[in-house]
Amino acid sequence: MTDLSLSELVAALAARKVSAEEATRACLDRIARLDGRLHAFITLDAAGALARARALDADLAAGHRRGPLHGVPLAYKDLCQVPGLPTSCGTRTADYFTSPVECTAVSRLHAAGAVTLGKLNMTELALGPFGDNPHHGDVDNPWRAGHVSGGSSSGSGAAVAAGLAYGALGSDTGGSIRLPAACCGIVGIKPTYGRVSRAGAMPLSWSLDHLGPMARTVRDAALMLEIVAGPDPHDATCSPRPVGALVAGLDHGPAGLRVALPENYYFDGVAPEVRAAVEAAAGVLAGLGARVRPLRLPDPATATDVANILARSESAAIHARVLRERPHELGGAVRSRLEVGLHVLAHDYLQAGRLRARLTREFVAEVFAETDVVLAPAIPEPAPALAAVTVGPVDEVVRRMGRFSRLTRPFNVLGLPVVALPCGAAADGRPLGLQVVGRPFDEATVLRVAHAYEQATDWHRRRAPVE
């Protein structure tokens, strides 16, 4: 049963071929069997999940379907406020984050009929791309033991890839949805900045944070995004723009759309198999009728500098108390990254915010006059061995973090919608990941292109050999 995608489970539940309780038990059994190795969960609410599933089965028997996710087991990154469950944000403090409101995205999924399995592991305070955590265990890659699962939504990526949950929520400040999606061979979408409410979720950088779905297929992610997106009075940055029917537009195909492959930066220094896989993906889309061409993009170096200034300043402001009062509770790399933010000048922070707005305007006007979407690698190499990237001097570990997330970070500054999805595999089976980038609030086109590629290939059908 856990081999089903979220959309396939939705259909099976609606047809009464399987019950919500059966689907929930299947996930709980798999968690009991596999999570000792994976460390995907921080908090598991087995009793609550089963009680919810039984109630949903009773509702369906009485002819009442709560919504499009009726009976689907999901799990959430442990920076989302969920009633009755602690929110550690990957720290050693169980209730590190509290909020007067429930996470809006979780609330909307619950209202749509989802079953909450629990809270997922993450890099401490969402500050890292590798998935290591000194308090709750390093999240292991389901495809290859001892390798990076991606971060900071590491538990979300591993749980979905290993069949522990049918979908998950992650957050993305510099790549934290897309990196674990690429490392774990699943789909993750970072929506346009402001498309999904961040109310009830611990912030890391309020200028750069995004919440988004992670699932096995583009259709699954589109369905979840339709549910969680839209305006929210609890989040003043949330856009009032209509979301539209994202799932209904998936099958329109890419014929006639302009697809760009970057001539600069995004292929510099990437592993040969990554370059080959992304170029092959472009060839698939060309075969489906898309107009593929090379395009030189604005140099992202300035955008990366802006991201660093904003993220460091804001994260240090948010976590100043633990940094000053209990620094010994933090991992070395996390503490080091936060401390840098305490020394950013107010002048530099304000200038970075102004420059960000200009860079975004210029990028959108220049690039999307020439293309409808951009294809780029999501990770520069297959998921590396965790020991190789997390040992050594803290400064070197932080530099490795920057190198691993350099392909995703610019699109957080620009606030653009991006889907990450599998596009190949290394010789030993580790997934390779592709990014599809679109213009602001055009998630429909990004998902349409990603879905067309996905359906023309078999990469999404692979299952991690975690048994």
Active site residues: 77, 152, 176
Give the list of residues 6+ apart from residue 194 with CB closer than 8 angstroms, or none: 237, 238, 239, 415
Beta bridge pairs of residue 211: 171
Torsion of CA 193, 195, 201, 202, to 10 degrees: 10
Task: Dig out the tokens for 211 from the structure.
Answer: 């919440």
Given a contact cutoff of 8 angstroms between Cβ atoms, the answer to whether 318 and 203 are in contact is yes
Q: What is the DSSP string of 83-124?
A: TTS---TTSS-TTS---SS--HHHHHHHHTT-EEEEEE--SG
Given a contact cutoff of 8 angstroms between Cβ atoms, the answer to whether 282 and 295 are in contact is no
Give the list of residues 6+ apart from residue 300 with CB closer than 8 angstroms, or none: 265, 410
Given a contact cutoff of 8 angstroms between Cβ atoms, the answer to whether 121 and 75 are in contact is no
Task: Dig out the tokens for 102 from the structure.
Answer: 């429930």
Q: Assign 435 to helix, strand or coil.
A: strand
Q: What is the largest CA-CA distance in the chain?
A: 61
Residue of 187, 194, 271 lying closest to 221 (CA atoms): 187
Given a contact cutoff of 8 angstroms between Cβ atoms, the answer to whether 349 and 149 are in contact is no
Task: Dig out the tokens for 379 from the structure.
Answer: 């990770």
